[in-house]
């Protein structure tokens, strides 16, 4: 008896249910970064999983969640609105997907796209999706702002961080730079009210990887005697341990 060959199972399918659950916990909608972090927290994922990247440098887990979102949009569980906010539909709010349900949704839509693109097999489409981002399949795709920021020079990124801080109310913002800066890339003044202002130091990390707890600790040590407040701005991500050490900002994640 000949066995029917198995098709490749997309890894992102396992996040269909957790994605719906995370959005329900967030009140029905959330920013992509919030949703990804909520799933990671619920599933108790390790830093090794969260930091794994694709060949393109994209974080594998975040990319898989983005694909899970795309399939749920196609099947009516999430609204097909702007990329800035993921929102449950009435169908999504009332749904609780099992693993088998998720597999059926994936099989359904891979079949639809296979039929629409006859030159590619189901296996080829799944493999392609595993290594790309959902927005890559849309016509007229251009590099994301995050990809642009990760491709510029370190000094160029520092200048962008300087502009960003100015746009958000900081004054007297200066980039110090250089190997002698002790881990401090610049400083600025933030006015809390007409009578009180504080000096804030900042560090810029143009990363595709992860900022570790040790790096955050080094920044805090460099701040001693120089300022009470500091900001780390990065295009990468922070390990869970690092997030506990200091309020930090992940640019565009």
Backbone angles phi, psi at 94, to 5 degrees: -95, 0
Residue 139 has pLDDT above 60, yes or no: no
Q: For the chain, give the mean pLDDT.
A: 80
Mean of pLDDT values over 110-129: 66
pLDDT of residue 122: 63
Residue 142's alpha-carbon distances to 138, 220, 232, in angstroms, are: 10, 37, 28
Q: Whole-angstrom Cα distance, residue 155 to residue 162?
A: 11
Residue 5 has pLDDT above 50, yes or no: no
pLDDT digits (tens, 9 = 90+) for 163-208: 889 888 899 898 886 655 667 999 999 988 889 999 999 999 888 7
pLDDT digits (tens, 9 = 90+) for 75-113: 899 988 755 788 999 899 998 899 999 999 988 888 877
Q: Whole-angstrom Cα distance, residue 75 to residue 77?
A: 6
Which of 38-65 are b and which e, b meaning 16 or more Cβ less than 10 Å from the residue's Cβ?
A: bbbeeeeeebeebbeeeeeebbbbbbbb
- 3-state percent helix, strand, coil for the chain, nearest multiple of 5: 45, 15, 35
DSSP 96-133: ---HHHHHHHHHHHHHHHHHHSTTS-HHHHHHHHHTS-
pLDDT of residue 141: 40
CATH code assigned to 149-250? 3.40.1350.10
Neighbours of 163 (CB within 10 A): 11
Neighbours of 155 (CB within 10 A): 13
Give the model's confidence band at 120: pLDDT under 50 very low, under 70 low, under 90 confident, else very high: low
Mean of pLDDT values over 205-219: 85
User: Taking a C-beta distance cutoff of 8 angstroms, is the pair 88, 24 a contact?
Assistant: yes
Question: Which residues 6+ apart lie within 8 Å of 225 measured at CB?
Answer: none
pLDDT of residue 163: 87
Mean of pLDDT values over 139-166: 75
Q: Where are the domains of the chain?
A: 11-140, 149-250
Residue 150 has pLDDT above 70, yes or no: yes
Neighbouring-strand partners of residue 193: 196
pTM as predicted: 0.53
Torsion of CA 40, 141, 104, 99, to 10 degrees: 0
pLDDT of residue 16: 94
DSSP 39-64: HHHHHT--HHHHH-B-TTS-BHHHHH
Residue 13's alpha-carbon distances to 19, 101, 103, 117, in angstroms, are: 10, 10, 6, 21
Residue 218 has pLDDT above 60, yes or no: yes
3-state secondary structure of 212: coil
pLDDT of residue 54: 84
Query: 5 or 40, which is more confident?
Result: 40
pLDDT of residue 125: 62
In 3D space, the residue among 80, 74, 69 whose CA is nearest the CA of residue 116 turns out to be 74
């Amino acid at each position: 008896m000949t066995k029917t060959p198995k098709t490749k199972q997309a890894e992102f399918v396992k996040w269909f249910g957790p994605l719906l659950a995370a959005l329900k916990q967030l009140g029905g909608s959330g920013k992509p970064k919030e949703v990804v972090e909520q799933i990671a927290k619920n599933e108790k994922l390790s830093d090794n999983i969260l930091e794994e990247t694709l060949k393109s440098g994209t974080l594998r887990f975040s990319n898989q969640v983005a694909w899970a979102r795309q399939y749920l949009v196609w099947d009516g569980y999430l609204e097909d609105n702007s990329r800035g906010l993921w929102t449950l539909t009435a169908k999504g709010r009332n749904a609780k997907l099992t693993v088998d349900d998720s597999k059926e949704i994936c099989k359904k839509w891979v079949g639809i796209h296979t039929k629409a693109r006859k030159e590619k097999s189901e296996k080829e489409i799944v493999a392609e999706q595993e290594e790309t981002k959902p927005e890559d399949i849309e016509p007229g795709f251009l590099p994301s702002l995050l990809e642009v920021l990760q491709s510029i020079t370190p000094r160029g990124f520092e200048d962008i961080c300087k502009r960003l801080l100015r746009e958000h109310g900081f004054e007297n913002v200066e980039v110090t730079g250089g190997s002698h800066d002790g881990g401090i890339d610049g400083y600025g003044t933030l006015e809390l009210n007409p009578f009180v202002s504080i000096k804030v130091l900042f560090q810029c990390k143009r990363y595709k990887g992860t900022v570790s707890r040790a790096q955050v600790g080094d920044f805090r040590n460099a701040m001693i005697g120089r300022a009470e407040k500091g900001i780390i701005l990065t295009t990468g991500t922070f390990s869970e341990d690092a997030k506990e050490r200091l309020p930090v900002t992940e640019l565009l994640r």
